[in-house]
Amino acid sequence: MTSTHTTAAGDRIIEPMIALAGCSKLHRIVVAGAKGVELMLELQRRGYVRTAATANCGHPAGQYDVALVDWRRRTFKSLEVALDWLVDFLSPAGVLVVWVDPQKAAANEALRASLERRGFVIEAGTVHDCGCAVSARWRETPPLRKAA
């Protein structure tokens, strides 16, 4: 018995996101976005077994090497809120990859500026038929946040 595997839009962005992040199958990866669980399962199917979605990733403690964010068909304002929360899961040497819908140049600049305001340096970017992505790393060790 053979099974067929259809290529969903999420599957098409996995390879470019992995390439931008430069991640290996040993890295701890957290996946965020509306299809986060599906992307997590696809990554695990491909051998990235240390992958979690934001739905099951635990409390933020800088424990992930890579954060993959699929933010297609969602607003930039909601991305800003998600990034404020998500960056606490990323280790000091971690890499963040954000994938968004195809946009005008001004929107891409806004994404880059948002990441830079949070202390990231943009390393690379890519444009694809289903969107565009940037990868970024911490400029320096992120500041410790005070407990409430």
pLDDT in tens, 58-91: 899 999 999 999 998 888 889 999 999 999 999 9
| Beta bridge partners of residue 133, listed in sequence order | 99, 126
Report how far residue 147's alpha carbon sits from residue 140's, in angstroms, rounded to the nearest whole number. Answer: 21
| Beta bridge partners of residue 67, listed in sequence order | 30, 96
Neighbouring residues of 7: CB distance < 8 A, sequence distance ≥ 6: none
Higher pLDDT: 131 or 146? It is 131
Of 3.50.50.60, 3.40.309.10, 2.40.10.480, 3.40.50.150, the CATH number of 9-138 is 3.40.50.150
> What is the rounded average pLDDT of the residues 8-26?
86
> What is the rounded average pLDDT of the residues 41-66?
95
Report how far residue 112's alpha carbon sits from residue 98's, in angstroms, rounded to the nearest whole number. Answer: 10
Task: Check pLDDT > 80 for residue 142.
Answer: no
Residue 89 in contact with residue 68, Cβ under 8 Å? Answer: no
pLDDT of residue 73: 86
> Would you state the torsion angle of the CA atoms of residues 78, 11, 51, 25, taken in this order, to the nearest 10 degrees?
-130
Task: Check pLDDT > 80 for residue 144.
Answer: no
- Give the pLDDT confidence of 83-125 residue by residue, as tens digits: 999 999 999 999 999 999 887 777 788 899 999 999 999 999 9
pLDDT of residue 2: 39
Report how far residue 125's alpha carbon sits from residue 82's, in angstroms, rounded to the nearest whole number. Answer: 20
By DSSP bridging, strand 64-70 and strand 51-53 are unpaired
Task: Check pLDDT > 80 for residue 12.
Answer: yes
Higher pLDDT: 130 or 124? It is 124
Task: Check pLDDT > 50 for residue 5.
Answer: no
Report how far residue 116's alpha carbon sits from residue 67's, in angstroms, rounded to the nearest whole number. Answer: 16
Report how far residue 63's alpha carbon sits from residue 55's, in angstroms, rounded to the nearest whole number. Answer: 15
Domain boundaries, the chain: 9-138
Higher pLDDT: 144 or 140? It is 140
> What is the rounded average pLDDT of the residues 19-43?
95
pLDDT of residue 7: 46
Structure tokens at 84: 């404020």
Residue 29 in contact with residue 66, Cβ under 8 Å? Answer: yes
